[in-house]
DNA sequence: CGATTCTTTGAAAACAGTCAATCTGTGTGG
DNA sequence: CCACACAGATTGACTGTTTTCAAAGAATCG
């Protein structure tokens, strides 16, 4: 369980407003959560497992990736503080996930088990709505991303990421960025060189 | 309104089973739908408009595309018979869509207005569930597609499409396929040449 | 038949992938 | 404290593919 005084993840604030939880309700709700600590390189889950919890990144940073047909890791997204990481398909349909989630730094996750999640959804329709809204926004964002991954050049994708998640570049090795962009580390290195040589882009 | 005897789109069968509609209810429900005919090259909607209806492709074929920063059209998906086409973000959030939907053949759409959609969802929770299930599956599929568009070579993407929607190749010009794959028509032409020369792939 | 529309081909430049080697920084153990 | 190993980043050389631009061939439709 979580200590209301101690752990105050951002999403709790949102919940207090959006889901109109009272303090008492919040306290009850927080009892349902568990803390999970991951060392750098630890996996939160691996392909083949079933995701039986929703996970909130309270501290640290993870990557979610798949292994493609050529046994190569392809990073689908990074999850930093205040993000959620999991596989909803596995969670809802109770089927093995195809994704892997690995900590890139020592990290702390907050977990709500499927069981407790479902219970909370029944008890607090507003929490259910909060969650569904999150899913919906993620869905729309994913759809938009398709057009970038389809037609964007590596350079465009790189600049977009640098703009959207600049913190990443301070925290994780570049070869992970390359994987996310769908190119080799060598190509990313040359791409960055080109960018610093041509314009005054930092 | 739709004639129950005449129009029997596939999804009606699904509804009868999944949503447990009685014949009488179905008849009422079908009254809410409208037919919209499109000539080849007509647009169902364009970027900037608000999508105020869900659309089912009863006949024909459409493409959904965006215009990217270089004023180039990028096709996100094709919608053939028994598919749905629209922009849920625009539909639910009542904001202008960024997508365009154009008929690639003379087509017939079945429309359910937002108003009637919401009414039906209230009246028949099972219809709402049917719709939500559709969205969820689409969401999961889109997520999986990200890994293909990120790390797949044009050849791999081509072969995957040829396997998943072989009908397309019988019906639409190849330059649309190229746009979907994120390459130029010339490259698709050479790619196809390579495939026929090297292996015995048809 | 003529006019679009679509597809293919050619040639040059730009770029990504691969393999191998080097360079850099970090931390560990002797 | 140094030497070493190790992970990560860069560079070079080479190959293959894509882009671009231009032009020529097909196919389709009115």
Check residue A201 and give its pLDDT: 37
- pLDDT digits over A14-67, tens only? 788 877 888 888 889 999 999 999 999 999 999 999 999 999 999 999 999 999
Check residue A15 and give its pLDDT: 81
Judge if the beta carbon of B139 is closer than 7 A to nucleic acid strand C: no
Token representation of residue B90? 């625009």
Check residue A94 and give its pLDDT: 98
Q: Are A111 and A2 in contact (CB under 8 A)?
A: no
Q: What's the Å distance between residue A91 CA and nucleotide C29 C1'?
A: 45
Q: What span, in angstroms and rounded, lies between the C-alpha atoms of B97 and B87?
A: 7
Mean pLDDT of B101-130: 95
For residues B14 and B195, the model is more confident at B195
Q: What span, in angstroms and rounded, lies between the C-alpha atoms of A56 and A62?
A: 11
Mean pLDDT of B5-26: 78
- Residue A152's SS3 state is coil
Q: What is the pTM of this model?
A: 0.92
Which residue is the nearest neighbor of C8, CA to C1'?
B189
Mean pLDDT of chain B: 92
Q: What span, in angstroms and rounded, lies between the C-alpha atoms of A161 and A171?
A: 14
Judge if the beta carbon of A181 is closer than 7 A to nucleic acid strand C: no
> Residue B18: exposed, middle, or buried by beta-carbon count in 10 A (0-12, 13-18, 19+)?
middle
Q: Are A85 and A44 in contact (CB under 8 A)?
A: yes
pLDDT range class, residue B9, cuts 50, 70, 90: confident
- Residue A88 and residue B150: Cβ atoms within 8 Å? no
Domains, chain B, ranges and CATH?
10-124 (2.60.120.10)
Check residue B200 and give its pLDDT: 47
Residue A12 CA: distances (Å) to CA of A9, A15, A16, A25, A87:
6, 5, 6, 12, 22
- pLDDT digits over B119-142, tens only? 999 999 999 999 999 999 999 999
Residue A200 has pLDDT above 50, yes or no: no
Token look-up 């990073």 returns A75
Of B88, B139, B149, the CB nearest to A150: B149
Mutation choice for B interface testing from A78, A143, A145 by most B CBs within 10 A:
A143
Percentage of residues of chain A with pLDDT beyond 90: 80
pLDDT range class, residue A202, cuts 50, 70, 90: very low
- pLDDT digits over A149-197, tens only? 999 999 999 999 999 999 999 999 999 999 999 999 999 999 999 998 7
Tally of CA atoms within 13 A in the half-sphere of A180 that contains its CB: 25
Lay out the sheet containing A53-59: strands in order across: A33-38, A107-113, A53-59, A84-85
Of B76, B140, B180, the CB nearest to A89: B140
Token representation of residue B3? 């004639």
- Residue A88's SS3 state is helix
Check residue B202 and give its pLDDT: 36
Q: Which of A15, A39, A35 is nearest to A25 (CA)?
A: A15
Check residue A20 and give its pLDDT: 81
Check residue B19 and give its pLDDT: 79
Mean pLDDT of B17-27: 85
Check residue A181 and give its pLDDT: 98
For residues B187 and A21, the model is more confident at B187
pLDDT range class, residue A12, cuts 50, 70, 90: confident
Mean pLDDT of B161-167: 96
DSSP state of B95: -
Check residue B16 and give its pLDDT: 84
Residue A140 has pLDDT above 80, yes or no: yes
Sort out which chain A residues have CB atoms less than 8 A from B181's CB and list them.
Answer: 150
Q: What span, in angstroms and rounded, lies between the C-alpha atoms of A80 and A58?
A: 8
């Amino acid at each position: 369980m979580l200590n209301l005084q101690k752990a105050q993840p951002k999403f709790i604030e949102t919940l207090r407003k959006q889901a109109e939880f009272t303090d008492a309700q919040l306290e009850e709700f927080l009892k349902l959560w568990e803390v999970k600590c991951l060392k750098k390189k630890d996996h939160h889950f691996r392909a083949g497992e079933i995701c039986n919890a929703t996970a909130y990144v309270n501290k640290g940073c993870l990557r979610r990736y798949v292994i493609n047909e050529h046994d190569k890791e392809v990073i689908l997204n990074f999850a930093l503080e205040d993000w959620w990481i999991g596989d909803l398909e596995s969670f809802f349909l109770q089927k093995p996930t195809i994704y892997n989630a690995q900590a890139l730094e020592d990290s702390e996750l907050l977990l709500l088990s499927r069981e407790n999640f479902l219970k909370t959804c029944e008890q607090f329709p507003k929490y259910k709505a909060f969650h569904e809204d999150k899913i919906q926004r993620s869905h729309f964002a994913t759809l938009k991303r398709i057009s970038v991954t389809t037609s964007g050049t590596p350079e465009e994708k790189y600049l977009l990421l640098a703009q959207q998640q600049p913190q990443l570049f301070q925290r994780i090795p570049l070869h992970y960025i390359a994987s996310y962009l769908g190119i080799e580390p060598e190509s990313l290195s040359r791409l960055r060189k080109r960018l610093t040589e041509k314009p005054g882009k930092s």
